[in-house]
Amino acid sequence: MKRVAVYPGSFDPMTNGHMEILRRALSVFDEVIILVAVSPTKKSLFSLGERFAMIKEATKELPGVSVDMTEGLSINYAREHGAIALVRGLRAATDFEYEFKMAAGNRFVDPKIDMVFFMSAPAFTFLSSSTIKELFMHGTDISPLVPLAVAEALKKKLNEIKK
C-alpha cells in the first residue's frame, strides 16, 4: 500500500526551507502531495494559480511529488485523497504552538490522519515566505533562498507592481 502524505501550506512563495522539508518527507512517504491552500487570514502576493505554477516548476524533477490546490480544509483533502499524514515543518517554538493547535483541530476532524513534523535544518530556521517577500522588496538577492522558478516569479511580480 502506498504511503501518501499531504504537505499543505500557502507557499506564498515556496522557499528552499519548504523544499528541504519536502525532500525529507519523500524519504518517509511514497508520495507527497503539495497542497497549495488559501489562507483567509493571510494577504497573498501571488494568486493560487501563480503559486501552483511556481511549485509545479520547482518540483518537476522530484519523483513522488504532485501539486494540487484547495480552498477547503487540508484535513478533508487528505482524507479524500487517501493520505495517512499531513506534513509540516517546524522552525522555532512559535511554530510549535501554532502547529500544536492545528494538529488538535485536525485530530478532532479525522483522528486517523497523523501530523508528521520535520524540524527545519539550521540554515533555514529564519526563513519564511514573509521574510523572502520583505527581503526581496528591499533589494536583497534572495536567489540562494528560493527555487529558481520562485526567484523569476518574484522579479516578474515586482515589475508588475512597479507599473
Q: Identify which of 102, 103, 33, 43 has the alpha carbon closest to the alpha carbon of residue 70.
A: 33
Q: Which three cell numbers stand for residue 89?
A: 515543518
Active-site residue numbers?
18, 42, 91, 129
Rounded Cα gap, residues 47 and 114, in angstroms? 29
* Amino acid identity at 57: E
The values of phi and psi at residue 107, to 5°, are -65, -35
**Helix 129-137, helix 148-162: angle, nearest 10:** 50
Neighbours of 154 (CB within 10 A): 21
Q: Return the sign of the alpha-carbon dihedral for residues 71, 1, 109, 97.
A: negative
Rounded Cα gap, residues 117 and 90, in angstroms? 7
